Amino acid sequence: MNMRAIYAIYRQEMARTRRTLLQSIVSPVISTALYFVVFGAAIGSRIKEIDGISYGAFIVPGLIMLSLLTQSISNAAFGIYFPKFVGTIYELLAAPISYLEIVVAFVGAAATKATILGLIILATAFLFVPLRIEHPFVMLVFLVLTAVTFSLFGFIIGIWADNFEKLQLVPLLVVTPLTFLGGSFYSIDMLPPFWRTVTLFNPVVYLVSGFRWSFFGQSDVNVVISLGMTFAFLALCLGIVGWIFRTGYRLKN
């Protein structure tokens, strides 16, 4: 594997984050802090506890997951779309670097940025609510695995999109609503049986539930099932990326 080529692309993508620090890091952290104030303080004053956990602490995993998903997708999608937009993608495809190395570099950079953002938001949460992490290793596994998986998903969106509107279509109209409806701010056990069954078809439920288990040891869905669903989506994204490079979809034309 050409580590020098991977590092060159990775470093370029990380440098772009440093140039847009306000948009990449500061803005998502401030937005999440506002969620803590509005939901944790205003609504938390009316909803004291859920499953023995204070409401302010209960929503922390969901808020981190919300930022992690949206930023992973956006970073990876824009990272690969911009070379397509300016035409430098052809220089990259013609260079002595394999498709695997291209994916590792772009997805690795996007996942790194999303993971750093998730850890910053977690540190910010300690300023607002008393928080405990019962399984820190599992928490890090979920954090990194989710960042990598949805960075791959964002990479696919970046290749599929042929304009800036489509680049934002899936994160805004699909991922964000699914996250809000995926138990980020409530337990799905609070729903009527019918709607709880419907909610189980939402893949984000398993991410939020497993991530919340790493904090409090409680979840709406078994943590093993949550990990299994995450790995399944990762495998699906890997399969799609492999097909894209085999066929040249939206690349060779």
Q: How far is Cα 104 from Cα 116, in angstroms, rounded to an integer?
A: 18
User: Taking the CB of residue 163, how many other CB atoms lie within 10 A of it?
Assistant: 10
Residue positions counted in the chain? 253
* pLDDT tens figures, 223-248: 999 999 999 999 999 999 999 988 88
186-200: b (≥16 Cβ within 10 Å) or e: bbbeeeeeeebeebe
Portion of the chain with pLDDT greater than 70, in percent: 96
CB 28 within 8 A of CB 119: no
- Output the pLDDT for position 133: 92
Helices (DSSP H) in 126-222: which residue ranges?
136-160, 164-170, 176-180, 193-199, 203-216
| Alpha-carbon span 147 to 151, nearest angstrom | 6
Q: Would you say residue 42 has pLDDT above 70?
A: no
- The confidence score (pLDDT) of residue 209 equals 93
pLDDT value for 1? 75
Average pLDDT score over the chain = 86
CA–CA distance, 115 with 67 (Å, rounded to integer): 10
Q: pLDDT tens, 111-157?
A: 999 999 999 999 988 888 888 899 999 999 999 999 999 999 999 99
Identify the CA nearest to 71 among candidates 39, 31, 101, 100: 31
Tell me the C-alpha to C-alpha distance, in Å, between residue 47 and each of 42, 51, 57, 63: 9, 11, 12, 17
Question: CA Rg, the chain, in Å?
Answer: 19
User: What are the extents of the domains in the chain?
Assistant: 3-247
pLDDT of residue 214: 94
Q: Quick check: 107 and 75 in contact, CB under 8 A?
A: no
The percentage of the chain sitting over the pLDDT mark of 90, rounded to a whole number, equals: 36
Nearest to 210 by CA among 138, 122, 136: 138
Q: Is the pLDDT of residue 40 over 70?
A: no
The predicted pLDDT at position 107 comes to 94
The mean pLDDT of 203-207, rounded to a whole number, is 91
Determine the 3-state secondary structure of 169 from DSSP.
Answer: helix
Q: Is 67 exposed, middle or buried (0-12, 13-18, 19+ CB in 10 A)?
A: buried
The β-bridge relationship of strands 53-54 and 49-50 is: antiparallel
pTM here? 0.90
Question: Would you tell me the crossing angle of helices 203-216 and 223-247 to the nearest 10 degrees?
Answer: 130
d(CA 199, CA 149): 21
What pLDDT does residue 239 have? 93
Inter-residue contact 225 to 205 (CB < 8 Å) = no
The residues, ordered by sequence, that sit 6+ positions from 24 with a Cβ below 8 Å of its Cβ are 17, 71, 75, 113, 117
